[in-house]
Amino acid sequence: MASERILPLQSAEEAVATGRRRRALSDTEFALAFGVPVLVFLVLVVAYPLGYAVWMSLHRIMFFGGYRSTFVGLRNFERVLVDAGFWWSSWVTVRLTAEAVVLTMLIGLGLALMLNRTRAARGLTRTLVFLPWCVSTYGAGLMFAYLARGQTGLGTSIAYALGYSQPVDLMTSGLVIEVLAVGAAWTMAPLVAFFLLANLQTIPKRLYDLAALDQLSPLETFWHVTLPPLRYTLFVFASIVTVLTMKLFDFVFVMTGGGPGTASATLTYQIYKISFENLDLGYGAAMSFYLLFLIIASTLLLYLVWGRREVLR
Amino acid sequence: MKRRDFAKLAGGTGLAVMTGPWPVKAANAWSLTASSGKPIYFRGWQYKTDVVQSFVDRYNKTMSGHVDYATITGDYPSIMEQKLIAGSELDVLYGNPSQAARYFDGGWVAPADELPNYAEIKAEFLPNLWDAWTYKGHLLGLSYFATTRGAIHVNLKAYQGAGMSDKDFPKTWDDLYDQIFALNAKGVKTPFLPHWFSEWYGISWAFVFEVLNRGGHIADDKTHKPLLTTNKNDLAYKTLAAWKKLWNSKMVPAEVLTYNEAAFIYAYGSGRYVFSPQQLYDLATFNTKGKSQIAGYDGLLPVQGQSWGLLDSALYLITKRKRPQPVTDDVMRFTSWYGFKDNSGQIAVASRWMQLSMLFSAYKSVMESPDAEARIKQSVARPSDARVVLDLYKATPFPSAIWKVAWSEEYNSWLKESLANFLLQNGDIESFIKSSNDKITALNEKYGI
């Protein structure tokens, strides 16, 4: 038992001498040993649900009077394309995503620059900045609903403090997407900020000294010294935030419930309603594939217009 | 014992044996003590969870039970339905009658007729709740609570401040709208807070109860076929026309469409409004100092020919998930103890809810008790309002046509969204009515009705 334990530390010659030589793994065997478990895991957690979703999207599924399913081919996919609710929700999703991505990146960048300069109480400041990322989106949804409503909200408090007597309601059909975007950015920006901060700290200080020697203005310094090393990280996080916002559900569900009316009914909310309120799982699955296409198309577009240049740079 | 006494006793006993309700006798012999030693899963929505937990603890302690109680957050009807479909660990749950009918049709819940003391339970039921909670000849569950949702609360301070008195109380919905506009013309900025909030029992139920109160029907009680017409005298048409006029007047804050129930109650309790359709039992909340700004001034519009609101109620339902018979027996025991009479023969839980929150019960002995009367008197702003509460409750209608049917929740979800859009987008009344009828027809086809 003891000799087995020290065997890995023995030299090849010693191993030969003890007559217990082990055959070394080939590269392929080594790769398989590590790769197969991962592949099996991925098949279980990704491929199986995805395959099941494809199967559902091709069927009409009923739960009443016992479970039964009928093959309907591509009819569910056709129904989605003529559903006005789907097109409205697609527009809401795109609008929310565009606003949330821009806000998240701007706030994240602003926070990173601030944290990079802060010297006093650095640990405390960083903890406070990171906290919103730790709050559940469910909790954040409740909080933002409270803050955005006229009767309890921040807008009304400010308006009253300024002497106005009218409450300010931000949960209107015209503004609710913007409020959702602000809330989404509030939860995601800290993560972006910390990755950008890591990048900022790799910029050599002498570059700033040189910029000072060249008498660059603060804006020019930011543009020519600070921003270039951040661009790739910004692109990566723009892609991540795009995906996260398009998939956002619980925040929307808790904060607005898709309302007022259908003003904030994103695709995820629409899919939830169809699949779990109306129990039309086949149709819901078909719609979820359109959401998947939208996510892939958006990130691909982002790569083509921005990411490719950053990779080549 | 004298011979005559013996003959009387023997005769009486014989008569009792011959005519006595057998199931009740069987029920009396039925022990409520749990025997399987296995857990019973009891789930409900979030309402005074500490109180529920204390009842459950008492059952577990005194009846050797192993009841596991937890609450469900989020979209309660959908979450429960998924749990029922999946056969999850769920034995007893809260449900509204509309959900209960759907679950029953889905084959996921067992009727309360299967309880050994069913006959005794039936004898205790108030007729209106018996009608509301029986579906296809079966009692769907035991009584959690019943009340009137959409009872019109009146902020008496603001009402009297506008120079009005009880004699001026509106008798119908049309009268009410006329008075709202009259009050507004007198300078009352926000005379009305409509029941248009964003919960699944908000704006959609507001439409249902207003149509019912006016004497209309959205669908047929038996065939469930749609009944609304685009005739301007149709009562749903009148309801939608009144809503449109109210919305366009800007008297109602648009944000009511995004309120949850807490925000809706808070808004009326703030004292900013004169009238609002609210839950009947919230009279107790609105008249309690520290809980509202109108404590001591919250009254109700009495029934003067027309009803107000609809019967809002909830039951304890028993699931049909697969479990060993001894566990099912324990589920029955717990449901009966909790939803009807405890081991001392008292309807303890329902009575406690009556005292705590003024939740009415389906059981006669709870509603007709002096304690209930005292509790109602305690909740009202004026002694005469106690009679108003009971009259209002007695006249409350139940929307059988759209609640005693499998598609109830789906129609409700459609109604909620469509009504909010109707207001926000200045929708066309005829198109709305046509869409509602089309939706009901499509749902009937979907469920083979």
B205-217 average pLDDT score: 97
Of A259, A278, A279, the CB nearest to B198: A259
- Give the chain A residue nearest B77 (alpha carbons): A277
Beta pairing class for B109-110 and B310-319: antiparallel
User: Roughly how many angstroms between the first and final C-alpha of chain B, as a whole number?
Assistant: 66
Residue B262 in contact with partner chain A when CB distance is under 8 A:
no
Using one digit for the tens of pLDDT, what is the confidence trace for A202-226? 999 999 999 999 999 999 999 999 9
Radius of gyration, alpha carbons of chain A: 27
How far apart are the C-alpha atoms of B415 and B432, rounded to whole Å? 10
Which CA distances in Å does B31 have to B81, B118, B134?
A: 31, 15, 26
- The angle formed by the CA atoms of residues B324, B330 and B334, to the nearest 5 degrees, is 145
How far does the CA of residue A173 sit from the closest CA of chain B (Å)? Answer: 8
Residue B250 DSSP class = T
Domains and CATH numbers, chain B: 29-146+313-374 (3.40.190.10), 148-311+381-446 (3.40.190.10)
- For A215-246, the DSSP string reads T--HHHHIIIIIHHHHHHHHHHHHHHHHHHHH
Which residue type is seen at A27?
A: D
What residues form DSSP beta bridges with B292? B289
How far does the CA of residue A149 sit from the closest CA of chain B (Å)? Answer: 7
**Pairwise CB contact (< 8 Å): B263 & A151:** yes
Question: CB count, 10 Å around CB of B182?
Answer: 14
Tens digit of each residue's pLDDT, chain A (313 residues): 334 444 444 555 555 555 555 678 888 888 888 889 988 888 888 888 899 999 999 999 988 777 889 999 999 999 999 999 999 999 999 999 999 999 999 999 999 999 998 888 888 999 999 999 999 999 999 999 999 998 888 999 999 999 988 889 999 999 999 999 999 999 999 999 999 999 999 999 999 999 999 999 999 999 999 999 999 999 999 999 999 999 999 999 999 989 899 999 999 999 999 998 888 999 999 999 999 999 999 999 999 999 888 877 7
The pLDDT value given to residue A67: 81
Which residue type is seen at B361?
A: S
Question: CB count, 10 Å around CB of A240?
Answer: 17
Nearest to A211 by CA among A197, A225, A198: A225
- Please answer whether residues B254 and A172 qualify as being in contact, where contact means their C-beta atoms are separated by less than 8 angstroms: yes
- Answer whether residue B2 shows pLDDT above 80: no
- Please answer whether residues B398 and B132 qualify as being in contact, where contact means their C-beta atoms are separated by less than 8 angstroms: yes
How far apart are the C-alpha atoms of B52 and B338, rounded to whole Å? 10
Question: CB count, 10 Å around CB of A107?
Answer: 19
The pLDDT value given to residue A177: 96
Residue B75 in contact with partner chain A when CB distance is under 8 A:
yes
How far apart are the C-alpha atoms of A274 and A312, rounded to whole Å? 43
B303-338 as b/e: b if 16+ CB within 10 A: beebbbbbbbbbbbbbbbbebeeebbbbbbbbbbbb
- Give the chain A residue nearest B85 (alpha carbons): A63
Which residue stretches of B134-234 are H helix? 156-161, 173-185, 203-213
Q: Which of A279, A281, A283 to mutate to test the interface with B (most CBs of B within 10 A)?
A: A279
Which residue type is seen at B34?
A: A
Nearest to B204 by CA among B444, B442, B439: B439
Which residue type is seen at B300?
A: L
How far apart are the C-alpha atoms of A256 and A250, rounded to whole Å? 10
User: In the numeric block, which tokens belong to residue A94?
Assistant: 């795109």
Residues in chain A whose Cβ is within 8 Å of chain B? 63-66, 145, 149-152, 167, 169, 171-173, 176, 253, 256-263, 265, 273, 276-279
Residues of A in contact with B78 (CB under 8 A): 276-277
Beta pairing class for B92-95 and B40-44: parallel
The pLDDT value given to residue A312: 75
- Please answer whether residues A268 and A252 qualify as being in contact, where contact means their C-beta atoms are separated by less than 8 angstroms: yes
Of A151, A256, A273, the CB nearest to B413: A273
The pLDDT value given to residue A7: 45
Considering chain B, what is the average pLDDT of its residues? 91
- The angle formed by the CA atoms of residues A113, A115 and A121, to the nearest 5 degrees, is 155
Backbone angles phi, psi at B110, to 5 degrees: -95, 140
Which pTM value belongs to this model? 0.84
| Token pair 């309402």 in the structure block, residue | B47
- Give the chain B residue nearest A64 (alpha carbons): B106
User: In the numeric block, which tokens belong to residue A236?
Assistant: 């990566």
- Kindly give, in sequence order, each residue whose CB lies less than 8 Å from that of residue B33, ignoring residues fewer than 6 positions away: B63, B64, B333, B343
How far apart are the C-alpha atoms of B355 and B352, rounded to whole Å? 5
How far does the CA of residue B143 sit from the closest CA of chain A (Å)? Answer: 25
Residues of B in contact with A171 (CB under 8 A): 255, 258
- Answer whether residue B115 shows pLDDT above 60: yes
**Pairwise CB contact (< 8 Å): A63 & B74:** no
Which CA distances in Å does A35 have to A28, A51, A158, B199?
A: 10, 21, 58, 49
**Pairwise CB contact (< 8 Å): B259 & A149:** yes
The pLDDT value given to residue A66: 76
Which residue type is seen at A150?
A: G
- Kindly give, in sequence order, each residue whose CB lies less than 8 Å from that of residue B374, ignoring residues fewer than 6 positions away: none
Of A262, A273, A276, the CB nearest to B82: A276
Q: Which of A165, A172, A278 to mutate to test the interface with B (most CBs of B within 10 A)?
A: A278
- Please answer whether residues B154 and B214 qualify as being in contact, where contact means their C-beta atoms are separated by less than 8 angstroms: no
Nearest to B202 by CA among B310, B281, B286, B300: B310
- Give the chain A residue nearest B79 (alpha carbons): A276
Radius of gyration, alpha carbons of chain B: 24
How far apart are the C-alpha atoms of A229 and A218, rounded to whole Å? 17
- Answer whether residue B17 shows pLDDT above 50: no
Backbone angles phi, psi at B171, to 5 degrees: -100, -25
**Pairwise CB contact (< 8 Å): B447 & A258:** no
B260-264 average pLDDT score: 92
The pLDDT value given to residue B27: 47
How far does the CA of residue A225 sit from the closest CA of chain B (Å)? Answer: 47
Residue B200 DSSP class = T
Q: DSSP 3-state assignment of B319?
A: strand
The pLDDT value given to residue A18: 54
How far apart are the C-alpha atoms of B102 and B173, rounded to whole Å? 31
- Please answer whether residues A101 and A238 qualify as being in contact, where contact means their C-beta atoms are separated by less than 8 angstroms: yes
Residue B33 in contact with partner chain A when CB distance is under 8 A:
no
Q: What is the ipTM of this complex?
A: 0.80
- The angle formed by the CA atoms of residues B34, B35 and B38, to the nearest 5 degrees, is 85
CATH ID of A83-312, from 3.20.20.70, 3.40.50.620, 3.30.365.10, 1.10.3720.10: 1.10.3720.10
- Answer whether residue B113 shows pLDDT above 70: yes
Question: CB contacts < 8 Å between A and B, how many?
Answer: 77
User: In the numeric block, which tokens belong to residue A189?
Assistant: 């920006």
Q: How many CA atoms lie within 13 A of B95 on its CB side?
A: 33
- Please answer whether residues B348 and B342 qualify as being in contact, where contact means their C-beta atoms are separated by less than 8 angstroms: yes
Q: In angstroms, how far apart are the furthest CA atoms of chain B?
A: 86
B23-49 average pLDDT score: 79
Of A172, A253, A279, the CB nearest to B254: A172
When mean pLDDT is compared across A2-6, A183-187, B27-31, B52-56, the lowest value belongs to: A2-6
Q: How many residues are there in chain A?
A: 313
Q: DSSP 3-state assignment of B140?
A: coil
Residues of B in contact with A279 (CB under 8 A): 81
Which residue type is seen at B82?
A: Q
The pLDDT value given to residue B208: 97
User: In the numeric block, which tokens belong to residue A253?
Assistant: 């569900």
Sequence spans of domains, chain A: 2-42, 83-312
B152-172 average pLDDT score: 96
- Please answer whether residues B227 and B186 qualify as being in contact, where contact means their C-beta atoms are separated by less than 8 angstroms: no
- Please answer whether residues B194 and B176 qualify as being in contact, where contact means their C-beta atoms are separated by less than 8 angstroms: no
- Give the chain A residue nearest B83 (alpha carbons): A276
How far apart are the C-alpha atoms of B230 and A245, rounded to whole Å? 42
